[in-house]
Amino acid sequence: MGNGAEDAGPPVGSSPPPPLEWKFSQVFGERATGEELQEVDIISAIEFDKSGDHLATGDRGGRVVLFERTDVKNLGSRKDLEAQDYPISRHPEFRYKTEFQSHEPEFDYLKSLEIEEKINKIKWCQAANHVLFLLSTNDKTIKYWKVQEKKVKKISEMNVDASQAVQNDNIASSSMISPRGYLPNGGCPERPQGHLNNDLSMPPGGFPSLRLPVVRNQETSLIARCRRTYAHAHDYHINSISNNSDGETFISADDLRINLWNLEISNQSFNIVDVKPANMEDLTEVITSAEFHPTHCNMLAYSSSKGSIRLVDLRQSALCDNHSKMFEEHEAPGSRSFFTEIIASISDVKFAKDGRHILSRDYMTLKLWDINMESGPVATFQVHEYLRPKLCDLYENDSIFDKFDCCLSGDGLHVATGSYSNLFRVFGCIPGSNEATTLEASKNPMRRQVQTPSRPAKSLGSFTRVVRRGAESPGVEANGNSYDFTTKLLHLAWHPTENSIACAAMNSLYMYSA
């Protein structure tokens, strides 16, 4: 595999830190050998919340599964633990918290179109009073969820045991069907007023064991409730949603439009970007991803299928069709081919935590951009350069249209993205760093080590033929490892404060730490 950063510049100050040493941490939903994979269980979205204490996944069956961190719960803050010389866990540990059905399959009768329940994106909103809020979306509908703990109350210390209660219940029911007439205020026409009811015989001194029932909190259960549904605003499939730093608004993007919503208003949105031409035959590019700036509530970035990223300032105008900045890399003369535009399409964009850099993923590379430099990326990372000779086969089996996520570490020093054969790659993006690690989504992540770029380039021509659509056999990589286009690692997320990565391999969620 080609690796490393190009155009990263010379080292600044001291030499770059040593590469991160990744270790397997946890796995959820691991498949047993020979177990059949259900398509509805395949994970389609992963997202950490801002604190890193919660993790959410969405799947093709429309379910959202929540995990919570356990290694810091009820132990106080990190600073307090350090003061007490408490041994801090080297990596975050999570446990299953709850799950709920977010979306159901629907049918659009006007367009004769099936709307699948698959979760495309999940975004966490600001939590309040130990209540979690999150947005989830499928192709057409966005939902705003509230997840909170409800205490189940139970009445205890009753005066009668269960058998007596059943007998009393029978007596009560038999009296209900009695033909005897009753007056409106509870009187009985057969008895004179003031006559005591003989059915209630009171022993002398009353009941010595009479107690008042006590209500106790037996257990807590998590309840997920849909607070808002934002529907009927997109003619095309929603590819991304993003929260604003103001905590009140969010955007949703499809192929041609970006809409701005208020979290509290579900029946209207504002169209802020519209790239739809008057004549659809003139359409040359579509929107592929969009994200708000992490701190500036007036700025957002969106990427296109032509490989460009546009920065938009909401203060300039209500309709932001004219961008304030555009980032794109100009292709070298004579390098254009049939696949150039297809592999240039950006599948994901992410802002760094500081808001200064943008990370983008196209089919072959990761690119890191400085928002103050429009001329080109500050670094380019080759993800799976060994596939370049196979683009024709990748086109025939549709793999060339796969959309891979990308992510940055909280400190901005590393970036990561997925590849085929359940591999993912981690790169160091400090100037002068050559860190480029390849890991496999399995309990032994370092099992699949691939070649370094120092090896001779002759290996690029020694591939066996990639299997075409419908076949099961994987191809073979230059150094003897097989690569399989059916097992692709599309979705991954980096913990916001620690070197920990969660990634999805089909229906399994793997977690690694360094």
pLDDT digits (tens, 9 = 90+) for 181-226: 545 555 555 555 555 555 556 667 666 666 777 777 777 888 999 9
Q: What is the DSSP letter of 388?
A: G
pLDDT digits (tens, 9 = 90+) for 126-167: 988 889 999 999 999 999 999 998 887 777 766 655 555 445
Model confidence at 357: pLDDT above 50: yes
- Please, what is the average pLDDT of the chain? 80
d(CA 62, CA 105): 8
- Position 193 scores a pLDDT of 53
Distance (Å, rounded) from C-alpha 274 to C-alpha 255?
9
Say how far apart CA 411 and CA 409 lie, in whole Å. Answer: 5
Asked if residues 15 and 434 have their Cβ atoms less than 8 Å apart, the reply is no
Mean pLDDT, to the nearest integer, of 343-370?
A: 94
> What is the rounded average pLDDT of the residues 342-370?
94
Nearest one of 64, 29, 61, 66 to 49, comparing CA atoms: 66
Contact 142, 241 (CB under 8 A): yes
Across the chain, how many H-helices and E-strands are there? 4, 33
pLDDT computed for residue 237 by the predictor: 94
Query: Given the DSSP bridges, would you call strands 63-69 and 54-59 parallel, antiparallel or unpaired?
Result: antiparallel
CB 428 within 8 A of CB 414: yes
> pLDDT category, 176, cuts 50, 70, 90?
very low
pLDDT confidence tier of residue 465, bands split at 50, 70 and 90: very low
Q: Lowest-pLDDT range, 106-120, 217-231, 435-449?
A: 435-449
pLDDT tens digits for range 361-378: 999 999 999 999 998 999
Report the candidate in 369, 415, 385 with the shortest Cα–Cα distance to residue 7: 369
The model's pTM: 0.77
Contacts of 88 (CB under 8 A, 6+ apart): 78, 81, 82
Measure CA of the first residue to CA of the last residue in the chain; give whole Å. Answer: 22
Q: Which of 12-21, 26-35, 71-80 has the lowest mean pLDDT?
A: 71-80
Q: Is the dihedral of CA 397, 3, 91, 295 positive or negative?
A: negative
- 224-233, 438-447, 461-470 — which is least confidently predicted? 461-470
pLDDT tops 70 at residue 464 = no
pLDDT at 335: 72
Closest CA to 269 of 318, 323, 322: 318
Average pLDDT score over residue span 275-281: 91
Edge-to-edge order in the sheet of strand 348-351: 5-6, 379-382, 365-370, 357-361, 348-351
- The 10 Å Cβ neighbour count of residue 83 is 10
Number of Cβ atoms within 10 Å of the Cβ of 26? 19
Contact between 133 and 145 (Cβ < 8 Å):
yes
Paired strand residues for 510: 27, 503
Digit-coded pLDDT (tens) for 78-106: 556 555 555 555 678 999 999 999 999 99
For 46, phi then psi, to 5°, come to: -140, 140
Q: How many CB atoms are closer than 10 A to CB 43?
A: 24
Q: What is the pLDDT, as a whole number, of residue 501? A: 95
3-state DSSP assignment of residue 22: coil
Which residues 6+ apart lie within 8 Å of 458 measured at CB? Answer: none
